[in-house]
Amino acid sequence: MLAWTIYISFLGVAVLLALKPDDARGARIVAMLASVTGLLVALAGALQYSTDAGLVTVADKPWIPQLSIRYTLAVDGISLTLLVLTGIAAVVGVLFSWNIEHRTKEFFAFYLALIGGVYGVFLSFDLFLLFVFYELAIVPKYFLIAIWGSTNREYGAMKLALYSFVGSTMVLIGLLAAYVTAGGNTFNLVELAKFPFPREFQMWAFPLVFVGFAILAGLWPFHTWAPTGHVAAPTAASMLLAGVIMKLGAYGCLRVAMVLFPLGLGEWEHAVLGLSSWREVFGLLAVIGIVYGAMVALVQKDFKFVIGYSSVSHMGFVLLGLMTLTTIGLSGAVLQMFSHGIIAGLLFAVVGRMVYDRTHTRVLDELETMRLSKVIPFAAVTFVVAGLASMGMPGFSGFVAELQVLIGAWKAFPTFAVFGGLGVLIGVAYTLRAIQKAFFSGEDAPMNNHPTEHEPKFNPISTPERVGAALLIAITLLIGLYPKLLLDLIVPALNSPLMSGILKVGAP
Amino acid sequence: MNYSELLAFIVPETLLVLAALGALLIDLTTMRGRPLNERMKWAMGLSCLGCGVAAAACFLGAETTPTGYLDGMFVFNPLTRLVKIVILLLTAITAILSVDSKFTEHVGEYFALLLLATVGMMFLVSSENILLIFISLELLSLCLYVMTAFNKQNIQSAEAALKYFLFGGMAAAFLLFGLSLVYGLSGEINLTKIAAKIAGPKLDPLLVLALLMVVIGFGFKVAAVPFHLWAPDTYQGAPLPSAAFIASGSKVASFFILAKVMIVGFAGAEGSGAWRGYLQGWMPVLALVAALSVVLGNLAAIAQTSVRRLLAYSAIAQAGYILIGLLANQRADGLASVLYYVTTYALTTLGAFGVVAVVQERTGDDKLSAFAGLSRRAPLVSFCMMIFLLSLAGIPPLAGFFGKFFLFKSALFIQGAAQPLGLLWLVILALAMSAVSLYYYLQVLKQIYVIEAPTGAESAKVTPLARTILLLLALAIVILGSAPNLLLEPLTSAIKAAGF
């Protein structure tokens, strides 16, 4: 049944293409229907899934028998978590793009194609199929940003497309080499993971595939597409970029690179510059990403760039969690993928939709003069809540996730954990700075509550915006207060035989 | 030699010659003085009919030629049948795409040449004899030179044709010299027998020279670097349908015969282009040519402002990818991947040229800026162009992606190899360059989808016929990409039946 998440999205694309070009209302409704159905299917799948079921095959049919490529869809707890995240992000994204009037039909067609591709990646267990869906998601991104974006959109879109494509090329080289080395008999992840690739092979294939995916996860120093892309993108697209696309990268790192080539994480014969394995290299890069992203976010003039760099910082936690190679660190990483997807979506929604679509500026110095907390109080409250969640306030999902990552990292590499904690601190600083500058500064208003002459008037916050924001806040609170909901899915998946190779390298 | 037997085998070619003469005849007699449009339609109809009947004759003529028939002068087996049907299909589509063009008054001659070129290709495909290979290649080339020069009002067309002709003549001379050396070394003109004579642990230096010359001759036909110089000018200057034909049908035939000459004729002289595993032979030569084509084609395409030139450089790059498939260790696999790729590539290019024709018809220009805002004026055609270009860039689930994957897989895969992944260097280079290629394809798509149309531009007129063809081509690319089996299955069984 879960396969329908993919089919429904592409069906939505087909229906949209058949609509009349100027039927904006119809396009919105179709997009909404498709994304809500997708979410419901994903949720139903997650509820039906019993936590000890292991890997459940959804579909398995021969696709290209000459090359032993099969159409294999399967889920475990990790995929389910991310499927639900995709569903939520899709629905909320439609809510926050309700006001798109320019070429509405095409917008939602690209949007649903992107969503369909993402569902496909999270479901595929045949690596060829996974790659097909992974690349399928690149092209819609380009058009979403280039056509409907704002600041420097063509540059941002092209940069994003090229970074993604270079990453996927590296992945393809690694996958081809692995497939050929294993005899060309199967592309199934589970089967390939059983093949004993020589250690030297894994030592070059692992970093190749890992970096290929990690480019999309915002690994420093390959993160530069992320801030420009996020800023240039229209609101829904930046929500998806931060919410789901970056997770594609992180998911690929875990599911493909680490599962296929666990020995690539092992120690080298010689230490280079004090680092003795790829694991330490990537751990270091992740920590640099955390601290660097946070520090750069601290000095941004553009509101959206603050959020863009904060994404780089938060995704650093995911990558750091992956490199801990312990159950707690890995489960923290997966939880952080989910949590960041929700929180970043909320932040981008406030900045892109609630603020920018009304003020038409994102420059913090200009926003400062607008006293937005008075003018659009809903946006201010939402952003404060989202900011709290983002800086890791207990009770929100980000806290649980980052705490787990840090605990895991403390066991694996204590120094990195300390710097990671430092990143959290800077996170508090840039979030508070953004809140203060964007919403709570400017001259004190006269004591009466009537708007004065020079006070800008904006459209009130619309219902779709309220619903979307409420939904996201509710979810981050729910997971923050009761993380067991997701951890019960994630932890058994991490303890499955598929992942045993990774954990073995982590705890020899 | 029994002529009636031979005639039975060459029924499709005969039918096509008759169609060519028929087109010439009715255009000069009954259609004389009628409006151009009508003459075009009649000639097109007759050409398509000819192609259809010839394809049916190929299909029904189930009999295969016995081994050693006429010393390999004419070989008809499931594989050549399949390739011939593909070529006939491409010719028919070219004819349909030509119908709206206004570059010439000489309708009958144009279609006759188109069909005669196709006859040349069909003989080329069917031959395993170096003499006949050369003759068919010349028949094909001469028709193509004239077709390139066909637009007499346009000086670019004449320039392109002259360039094409001079380079082509030179390449033909090299090929002939190379083949004569091969004949001198082996005393045979049949590919299989040649292979048996020249095989040996050590290659004759003269044979290496002959190999090089043969590669030059065919390298010109497939527009591989460094024999590619004619391609950009010809693609840009030739009348659009001629350029489309050169880029599609002629590519299929040339790659097929190149593969056959190399794999069958020079079996035993392969050598190896593996990293640190260099062995003298044709494989390292082709590996080098492929690497150069992939790099130069893709990099030069970035700088182009004319979409036709861009397609030309992209064709050079694509030729590089295809050559990689020829280096496969298992020749059945390699041949299958080459044929799959070149077929889908030909369909894609035809489609892309069809869209360029639509735009050029309206703006009189093939500059990138002429495509600005096309999606607002011709949404369907734009969508087709998106599919064609993304397929060329190798984005799944389009045919170009699976094609590339299969090519690279065949090149890498060696059963029980002493040196696994020897060609990984070439595959990495090709994949890296295909990442570059996305940039220039996106440049075209950016014009179509992102840039606003210039004010005052009216909606583009597309004839229903052209629109149907483009849509069918786009659909074929999507279907062949998501269900490659549809083409792969008949290909592999035909290749097996042909004894590879």
Cβ within 8 Å, pair A139-B390 = yes
Q: Which of B144, B153, B137, B138 is nearest to B105 (CA)?
A: B153
Q: Which of A206, A203, A226, A204 is nearest to A215 (CA)?
A: A226
Q: How far is CA B172 from CA B164, B176, B185, in A?
A: 12, 6, 20
pLDDT over 70 (residue B458): no
CA-based nearest distance A467→chain B, Å: 31
- Tell me the average pLDDT of chain B: 89
Residue A91 CA to residue B166 CA, distance in Å, equals 62
φ and ψ of B274, to 5 deg: -70, 155
Burial A45-81 (b: 16+ CB within 10 A, else e): bbeebeeeeebbebeeeebbeebbbbbbbbbbbbbbb
pLDDT of residue B350: 94
Residue B400 CA to residue B408 CA, distance in Å, equals 12
The confidence band for B456, taking pLDDT boundaries of 50, 70 and 90, is low
Cβ within 8 Å, pair B435-A162 = yes
Residues 6+ apart with CB under 8 A from B212: B178, B285
Q: How far is CA A243 from CA A171, A209, A225, A255, B267, in A?
A: 22, 22, 15, 18, 55
Q: How far is CA A318 from CA A164, A329, A496, A504, in A?
A: 19, 9, 20, 20
Nearest-Cα residue of chain A relative to residue B333: A66
Query: Is B282 within 8 Å of B254 (Cβ atoms)?
Result: no
Chain B residues 334-393 with a CB less than 8 Å from chain A? 336, 375, 379, 383, 390
pLDDT of residue B38: 87
A57 touching B, CB under 8 A?
A: no
The confidence band for B455, taking pLDDT boundaries of 50, 70 and 90, is confident
ipTM surpassing 0.95: no
Chain A residues 413-472 with a CB less than 8 Å from chain B? none
Predicted confidence (pLDDT) per residue in B219-270, tens digit:
998 999 889 999 999 999 999 999 999 999 999 999 999 999 999 888 888 8
pLDDT of residue B460: 65
A197 in any annotated domain = yes
Supply the pTM of this predicted model.
0.92
**Segment (H or E) for A64:** strand A56-64
Q: Which domain holds residue A360?
A: 4-443+457-506
Predicted confidence (pLDDT) per residue in B59-104, tens digit:
887 678 787 788 888 888 889 999 999 999 999 999 999 988 888 8
CA B46, B52, B58, B61 torsion-angle sign: negative
Tell me what percent of the residues of chain B surpass a pLDDT of 90.
60
pLDDT over 60 (residue B24): yes
Residue B403 CA to residue A62 CA, distance in Å, equals 18
Q: Which of B395, B427, B446 lies at the smallest CB-CB distance from A139?
A: B395
- For the record, the structure tokens of A470 come out as 């409420």
pLDDT of residue A449: 52
CA-based nearest distance A106→chain B, Å: 10
Residues 6+ apart with CB under 8 A from A297: A305, A306, A307, A308, A309, A310, A313, A426, A430
The terminus-to-terminus CA distance of chain A in angstroms comes to 39
Residue type, B114: L
Cβ within 8 Å, pair B435-A166 = yes
- For the record, the structure tokens of B19 come out as 């169609």
CA-based nearest distance A64→chain B, Å: 6
CA-based nearest distance B485→chain A, Å: 6
Predicted confidence (pLDDT) per residue in B341-395, tens digit:
999 999 999 999 999 998 888 887 888 888 888 888 888 899 999 999 999 999 9
Query: Is B319 within 8 Å of B301 (Cβ atoms)?
Result: no
Cβ within 8 Å, pair A64-B488 = yes
Residue A120 CA to residue A134 CA, distance in Å, equals 8
pLDDT over 70 (residue B217): yes
Q: What's the DSSP call for residue A363?
A: B
Q: From chain B, pick out residues whose CB is under 8 angstroms from the CB of A109.
A: none
- For the record, the structure tokens of B378 come out as 């011709």
Query: CB pairs under 8 A, 24+ apart, for A494-498?
Result: A494/A78, A494/A327, A494/A330, A494/A331, A494/A334, A495/A327, A496/A54, A496/A55, A496/A76, A498/A55, A498/A76, A498/A189, A498/A190, A498/A193, A498/A259
CA A168, A170, A173, A178 torsion-angle sign: negative
pLDDT of residue A7: 92
Instruction: Among B405, B412, B433, B482, pick the best mutation site for testing chain A contact (most A Cβ within 10 A).
Output: B405
pLDDT of residue A23: 83
A380 in any annotated domain = yes
A452 in any annotated domain = no
Cβ within 8 Å, pair A180-B427 = no
Tokens 């880029």, residue?
Answer: B247
pLDDT of residue B419: 58
pLDDT of residue B331: 85
Query: Is B110 within 8 Å of B149 (Cβ atoms)?
Result: no
pLDDT over 60 (residue B435): yes
Structurally, chain A folds into a number of domains equal to 1
CA-based nearest distance B466→chain A, Å: 20
pLDDT of residue A455: 57
Three-state SS at A137: coil
A62 in any annotated domain = yes
Q: Which of B375, B413, B492 lies at the smallest CB-CB distance from A180?
A: B413
Residues 6+ apart with CB under 8 A from A137: A114, A117, A118, A121, A245, A248
Residue type, B105: E
Residue A287 CA to residue A415 CA, distance in Å, equals 10
pLDDT over 70 (residue B459): no
Q: How far is CA B256 from CA A470, B86, B384, in A?
A: 62, 12, 28
B426 touching A, CB under 8 A?
A: no
pLDDT over 90 (residue B135): yes
Residue A193 CA to residue A191 CA, distance in Å, equals 5
Residue B60 CA to residue A407 CA, distance in Å, equals 73
Q: Which of A105, A116, A86 is nearest to A29 (CA)?
A: A105
B78 touching A, CB under 8 A?
A: no
- For the record, the structure tokens of B149 come out as 């020069």
Query: Is B131 within 8 Å of B270 (Cβ atoms)?
Result: no
Q: From chain A, pick out residues whose CB is under 8 angstroms from the CB of B406.
A: 67
By residue count, chain A amounts to 508
Cβ within 8 Å, pair A181-B420 = yes
Residue type, B453: A
* 508 residues of chain A, pLDDT tens digit each: 888 899 999 999 999 888 887 888 888 899 999 999 999 999 999 888 887 788 888 888 899 888 889 999 999 889 999 999 999 999 999 988 888 888 888 889 999 999 999 999 999 999 999 999 999 888 899 998 888 888 788 898 999 999 999 999 999 999 999 998 888 888 999 888 888 888 888 999 999 999 999 999 888 888 888 888 888 888 888 888 888 899 999 999 999 999 999 888 888 888 888 788 898 899 999 999 999 999 999 998 888 889 889 999 999 999 999 998 888 999 999 999 999 999 999 999 888 888 888 888 888 888 877 777 778 888 888 889 999 998 888 888 888 899 999 999 988 888 888 998 899 999 999 999 888 888 887 665 555 555 454 556 778 888 888 888 999 999 999 998 998 888 888 888 888 888 888 888 877 6
Residue A165 CA to residue B439 CA, distance in Å, equals 10
pLDDT of residue A504: 84
